[in-house]
Amino acid sequence: MPWVLGDRALGDSAVEVGPGPGLTTDLLRPRTRHLTAVEADAELAAALVKRFAGTNVTVVHADATRMPFAAATFSAAISLTMLHHVAGEEAQNNVLGEIRRVLQPGCWLLGEDSTDDPDFREFHRGDVCVPVDPATLGARLVSAGFVDPSVELGDHVVRFAAMRPFMPDEGG
């Protein structure tokens, strides 16, 4: 987690896109006043609702390509080991664009995903597995409307960060 987040603050209201079973949610929630976890899988979302009842986490069952939030809602967005579960590069690009939409100007998308290799593919046999190409990820982030993309390879993982820019009428 420190490798992905670095010294960037999450602000008061962060969104975690694709928390799965919520292991990373446990690590993120102390770092923000309020965390919204967006989970596409109905069963996982229902389990997370029960698990995080009474905490600073709100779980929303939704497709990350069409999140039910107003533009510029969140002070940070986090995507940890989930993009490869999105079926296809176009859908992944839609997720990135949607994350950009719900981020406040000047705020960060911070993420990490696994890199492609035979063991990774074998582990995901029978599951959606569309690994993100680190070589094109920076350009894809820019195409989604982010600025200052950073993409760095680690041991079988890629971390990435990009900022939602201020628009001319937003100041900053």
What are 92's two structure tokens?
A: 């992944």
Domain presence at residue 171: no
* CA angle (112, 51, 44) in 5-degree steps: 55
Look at strands 147-153 and 157-163 and give their pairing.
antiparallel
pLDDT of 67 higher than 60: yes
What are 13's two structure tokens?
A: 């209201």
pLDDT of 85 higher than 70: yes
Q: Output the pTM of the full model.
A: 0.92
Q: With bands split at pLDDT 50, 70 and 90, how would you rate the model's confidence at 144?
A: very high
Classify 96 as helix, strand or coil.
helix
Q: Residue 163's closest CA among 100, 78, 102?
A: 100
pLDDT at 69: 98
> Per residue in 100-134, pLDDT tens?
999 999 999 999 998 888 877 777 787 777 789 99
Domain presence at residue 170: no
Domain presence at residue 112: yes
Domain presence at residue 172: no
Of 26-35, 113-122, 135-144, the poorest mean pLDDT is in 113-122
Domain presence at residue 70: yes
Domain presence at residue 46: yes
Q: Residue 113's closest CA among 150, 163, 159, 65?
A: 159
Length of the chain counted residue by residue: 172
Q: 83 lies in which domain range?
A: 2-165
How many domains would you assign to the chain?
1
Please state the rounded mean pLDDT for residues 25-41.
Answer: 96
39: Cα within 13 Å, side-chain hemisphere: 22
Q: What is the CATH number of the domain that holds 113?
A: 3.40.50.150
